[in-house]
Amino acid sequence: MENEEILDDIGALVEEERALRERSGTGGLAPEERARLADLEVRLDQCWDLLRQRRAKVEFGEDPDEATLRPAAEVESYRN
């Protein structure tokens, strides 16, 4: 997956997340919508992590295609 594809995925995920958050402010979300929002947050974290990995590999002269999508549990355990 190329950086542009990852950025496109991020953009689509952000749009969906924004729509759900707007809907949540006008009456709340159904349980399946809350679950979807949680999934979107995790998926976004994974995409950003993958993009950072790819950029770091390029910076250090490595092959960015060796970057891998890390499991949700691993990405979600990172500290800011």
Is the pLDDT score of 80 beyond 60?
no
Q: Could you read off the pLDDT of 33-73 as tens digits, one per residue?
A: 999 999 999 999 999 999 999 999 999 999 999 999 999 99
Secondary structure letter of residue 66 according to DSSP: G
Q: Where do the domains of the chain lie? A: 3-76
**1 three-class SS:** coil
Q: Could you read off the pLDDT of 6-35 as tens digits, one per residue?
A: 999 999 999 999 999 998 888 889 999 999
pTM, entire model: 0.89
Q: Please tell me the predicted confidence (pLDDT) of residue 1.
A: 83
φ/ψ (deg, to 5) at 54: -60, -45
What's the Cα-to-Cα distance from 60 to each of 20, 55, 63, 71, 73, rounded to whole Å?
A: 38, 9, 9, 24, 27
